[in-house]
Structures are given as C-alpha cells and as structure tokens.
Amino acid sequence: MYKLQFLSCIALTLALVANSAPTLSSTKDTKKQLEPLLLDLQFLLKEVNNYENLKLSRMLTFKFYMPKKATELKHLQCLMEELKPLEEVLNLAQSKNSHLTNIKDSMNNINLTVSELKGSETGFTCEYDDETVTVVEFLNKWITFCQSIYSTLT
C-alpha cells in the first residue's frame, strides 16, 4: 500500500521536474538574475529623471506598451519587445552626453538578462494594454514587476 503512494510521489516529482517546475536552486538563480535587471532598470530611470526639462518633455512624448497583466517571468517577452524603442528614445536624448556608453551597457545587460530569465519559450505572445505609457511610467512599471517577482521568490 505504501509502495503505491511512494511510486505516485516519485512520478509526481519527475513530472514536475520534467515540466520545469521551479526548484530551490533555480529560485536562487532567478533571484541572482533579477537583481542586476532591477539595478539596470533603476539606473535607466535615474538617467531619464536627470535630463534637462526640455529633453525630458521630448522623451515623454514617446509612448510605450505595457502588457495587460504582467505576473510571470514569461511576461518579460513584452519588455524585450519594447527594448529597441526604449533604446532609441534614450539615444535621442543622450546624443551629446557621455553617459551613452553606460546606457548602452545597461540596455545590453537588460537584453541578456531578460533572454535568460524568460527562457526559450517562443510561443508566448504579449497581450498589450490599450493605453500607452511614458518612458518614466514604463520603467517604473517594469521595476515594480521585478520587485514583485523577487519578493515571491523569497
């Protein structure tokens, strides 16, 4: 009788592992990857907020799309799809500033980290909210998303 329960437990464990259920080590890895992503997003927000009023007002005219509901790592695909427009906006405003290299480094870091975190799932399609957001709102919302995911892993 106990043998059947034991075998059922093993089968369930194998099914979870095979379907990429989070394990303790993957949770730690995810947390380690989320930290630099969060720092890079915060850096970009700080850079955006440091612009002169004229540049910031111009940057705020560009609109970005946010997913309707971002609650899982797979939703990072939506961030990835908006990285190119974000980089273009930041480059426009930074054209004569020495921080351009730092911004490019942060954008590259974000791109690599998001690719690692979201995994190889290619079938996910983002469902975007109808309303667009400014660059400041965009960065704030993704920072909040990362903090939320991070807090669920603790």
Q: How far apart are CA 45 and CA 78, in angstroms?
A: 18
- Higher pLDDT among residues 69 and 10, named by residue: 69
Q: How far apart are CA 51 and CA 104, in angstroms?
A: 17
CATH number belonging to the domain at 23-152, selected among 1.20.1250.10, 3.40.50.80, 2.30.30.760, 2.40.50.140: 1.20.1250.10
Q: Is residue 71 classed as helix, strand or coil in its secondary structure?
A: coil
Provide the token pair at 55: 């540049």
Which residue from 126, 136, 113 is spatially nearest to 69, judged by alpha carbons?
126
> In the prediction, which pLDDT does 88 show?
86
Q: Which residue has the tokens 């004229």?
A: 54
> In the prediction, which pLDDT does 54 show?
64
- pLDDT (tens digit per residue) in 33-57: 999 999 999 999 988 887 665 677 7
> In the prediction, which pLDDT does 117 show?
86
> In the prediction, which pLDDT does 21 show?
46
Provide the token pair at 69: 């509901």
Its pTM surpasses 0.85: no
Domain regions of the chain by residue span: 23-152
Average model confidence (pLDDT) across the chain:
80
Mean pLDDT over 126-142 rounds to: 94
Q: Is residue 108 classed as helix, strand or coil in its secondary structure?
A: helix
Between 12-16, 29-33, 94-98, 118-122, the lowest mean confidence (pLDDT) is in 12-16
Q: How far apart are CA 78 and CA 85, in angstroms?
A: 12
Judged against a pLDDT cut of 80, whether residue 19 lies above it is answered with no
Q: How far apart are CA 118 and CA 126, in angstroms?
A: 13
Mean pLDDT over 53-65 rounds to: 80
> In the prediction, which pLDDT does 151 show?
92
Provide the token pair at 1: 């009788």
> In the prediction, which pLDDT does 140 show?
96
- pLDDT (tens digit per residue) in 91-116: 776 655 556 678 888 899 999 999 88
